[in-house]
Amino acid sequence: MSVDIEADSKKSSEETTRPIFSAEDRREIVSSFAKAFLSGKIKVHSWTPGVVAEMSTGKKKSREELFVKKLDFTKTIMVACGMNNERQDQIDRAVEEIFISLMAWRGGGLLEGEFTTTDQEAKLKALEVRFDSLEKLMVALIEEVRMLSHVRGSNTP
């Protein structure tokens, strides 16, 4: 019996590099957040005067600094939504920035409200499409069986 050390190391290195959330998972989370944010279901306290302080000094951030942060976030969410004909790499970068912000805000208690972390509507639509195709396949198979039984029935002596 021989042991393939390279195969074992490849397998373990592949297992250790698999992220908890794939890029698609992060995109779904950001999409869900954006929908909830735009509908008013989420409040971000990261821009509330007197709430956010510099971690290293404890000094509260000024209204101007908070306004600039909110404006930057608004621009980032616009890029993620593809509002200005951005390239895909720009959109992907914006999605990642928003995801990082979501983690920081949630960890710092700066998000109020809930949003789903998976796009249930998209998954339901995908399931409906699969169900429709299976239904069509089943109808085709039933027709095929009918044709075969009809042909066999007419050939019996």
- Judge contact between 135 and 63, C-beta under 8 A: no
Q: What is the pTM of this model?
A: 0.63
Chain segment 74-120, per-residue pLDDT in tens: 999 999 999 988 999 999 999 999 999 999 999 889 999 988 776 66
pLDDT tens digit sequence for 42-70: 999 988 888 887 778 888 888 999 999 99
28 class by beta-carbon count within 10 Å (0-12 exposed, 13-18 middle, 19+ buried): buried
Q: Which residue from 92, 91, 113, 86 is spatially nearest to 102, judged by alpha carbons?
A: 113
